[in-house]
Structures are given as C-alpha cells and as structure tokens.
Structure 1
Amino acid sequence: MIPKILHYCWFGKNPKSELAQKCIATWSKYNPDYQIIEWNEENFDVNQHPFVKEAYEQKKWAFVSDFARVKAVYELGGFYLDTDMEITRSFDDLLQHKAICGYEFKGRPFSAFFAAQPEHSFVKEMYAYYLQQEEMKIMANTTIFSKLLIEKYGASSGDQYQELANGVTLFPSHYFSLDVPKNYVIHHFEGSWLDAAHQSTYKEMVNLYGHLKPIVEMKNGKIVMKDLIYNRKVYNIDQILEQIPLSYIIQFVKNKFLEKLKLKKT
C-alpha cells in the first residue's frame, strides 16, 4: 500500500506564490490525516550528489526537485505533487495500489504527480538514473519518466487506464492533470521549467486536449457535430473552423481530394 504522505519540494528559499499557497491548502483539506513534507535546504542535503549540487548552484530548482522527489518517494513512499497542483478529492481509494502515475495528455506520462509504496522498483529505477549522472543534464524529468514507463514497463501511448509490470498503474489524464469535473488533481502549470509567457498557453493547451479527446474518439462524432451546427444552431461552422490553423484545413481538404481521385481511378 501507498503511505499517507504528501511530498513536495521548495528549494531556493523564495516566498511561495499565491497559487502555490492556495494549492497546498487543498491538500490537507481533502486529506486531513496525511503527513505533508516540504523538502528544502533545511532537511535535504543539496551537496549529496554532483547532479543535485550543480543544479542547486545554478539555481535550477526544478532539477533539484527532480532528484529530491524520486529519492523521497523511493525511501519513504507516498505521493509527490508539484506545488501548482490543486487536490479536488481524497486520495484514500488510491492507497491500495503499489505505484501510480498519470498522463498529462496522450503519449505523455508525466512526473508532476506520482506515488508508490517505499522502495518500489519503478521509483528505484528513476532514482538510479540520477545517481548515475556525474553532472547535471538539462533534460526534463517527464522525458525520462515517460521513456522508462514505455520501454521497461510496457505502457502504450494511448491516454487510458493501464495496469503495467510490477504493479504500476497508469491513469488517464483526467485523473491528475486536467481541469474537468471528475478528477483528483488539477495541474495549473506554474512550474519553473516554463517561462511566464508559456505557462498560461500550456495550461490552456492541456485542458483543450481534455475537451477534444472525447470528441475525437466519439463514434458518432460527425452526426453529433452536424446536429449542433445545423439543427440546434449552438455554433456555426465558421466559429469552429476559425480555431483551426488555415494551413491544416487546406492540407486536410487536399488529402481528402487526393483520396477521392485514387478511389475513382480504381
């Protein structure tokens, strides 16, 4: 089982943003009997390894956190969350799993939220990766995380529930990332790995994905879309097409036209 511990990292001794404070407040609101541990310079040795030492000296707080999060969850077990993650319900029904993680969107499992029992093999392999680094490498933790899940644990690129090797459970994006009605966590994307200009756009992109996913995968999508536009007149076609880059529309029409020509020739 996963212990009732919520881990987060706050290195650099800077004051927490208003968003971070609001998000962290939701953790105890929905999980009042969980221990919350903040990892910082006071309780984590930033000189213990060349990777984390160099990252700290360069004030790359996100990379310090990359090392600290896997070490903490490997040794103690529990849930790791980025400080820009808002909890929306109790984690109690997740405790039964050996290890859990989720998709940010299709094809991209992410490391902003994950959990495991102590010394689980998946987190051990993540931790081993950092221990093998002789210096800091500018590589997103999510890239390493996704590669390991796909190549060693058999995760598929689809954004769906999956039970993987060694008791790792992979959840769809609406569980721990998207701002949708039924979830556990909303990710607000305020991380230091994104500059200010891209934070809002990235969040909007991920949440738009959450809304588009059921439409794209809908079996009768064309019929429903036609009903909304022509019968119920909820939207007109121009409003929808205006949101799609013109070059994509032209390429789509071109491909469809060529398909029809090939069919006629045969």
Structure 2
Amino acid sequence: MAEPKHKLAEDFVDYYNRQDGFVERINTDIFSEMLEKEYGADRYSDTIQKLKHDVTLYPSVYFSQDLPRNYVSHHFNGSWFGGDEENTHKKMVNTYGLLERLVNQPGAAKSIDSIIHEHKIIDVNQVLDLFPKEDIRKYLEKKESESPGEKSA
C-alpha cells in the first residue's frame, strides 16, 4: 500500500527535480537502477523482495499478462503518447514488447497451444496471418530439413 510522503516517492520526485534538460530514458530503467542502488533490490530476482524503508518489491506475475497467475494486468499500451491520432511508433513499441515477452516467456509454446486449442480464445489463422508468408514458408522448410533429433537455434 502506498503511503503519503514515503521516501521512495520522494526519491522518484527528487530524481526528476535534479535533471538538467531532457534525456530520453524509460522510467522503469531509472527506477530499477534506483531500487537496486539505494534500496538493495536484486533486479534479476523475480520474487517478493523486502527492501530498505519498508519497500516491498513484487514479482512480475503480480502485474503481467500471465493470465493464469497474475493479479493485475498492465497492458503497456503507451497511453502517455496521448490523443486518438494514429501513432505508429506507439504501435511498433507495443508490438515489439508483446513479441519480445512472448519469445522469452518460459513455457510460451504450451500456453499458446492451450489458448488456441483448449480455450479456443484465438484462431491460429488470425495469428499466422500477421506474419509474412515467406517467413512462414522458410521456417517450415527449415524445420522439414532438420533431422528428427536436431533442434534449430
């Protein structure tokens, strides 16, 4: 639970007040570094961490789109760009973020299989239509040419 005038909030505000000019840097990077250096966080430990000044850091599943395990979903939609106008940068950043998380998500293949075949939430054709056909063709050719025990990188 957030507390009024907590040291962490003051540190966040102080960080911005100390800036001279504008440097484009995402706040999660800034605050991760601050939590690590000033509060004793381990940025590579995705567990509940009790830090200095009564700060509790929660694992990513508390805020991620890991639907079976999450508590809150943060959709990372870039709403700070504002307005209803088309923003191709925002769309590209969101798409990259989703794909990067999917590629690096442990057990992603099993989850996708479940979403498509068990829950029938998404039609596999809708997903495949998003990828260039030539890339799908090359991927299938590569898979077919691999020996049964061989695995691609």
TM-score (normalizing by structure 1)? 0.33
Q: Higher strand fraction: Structure 1 or Structure 2?
A: 1
Greater relative CO (CA pairs within 8 A, separation 6+): 1
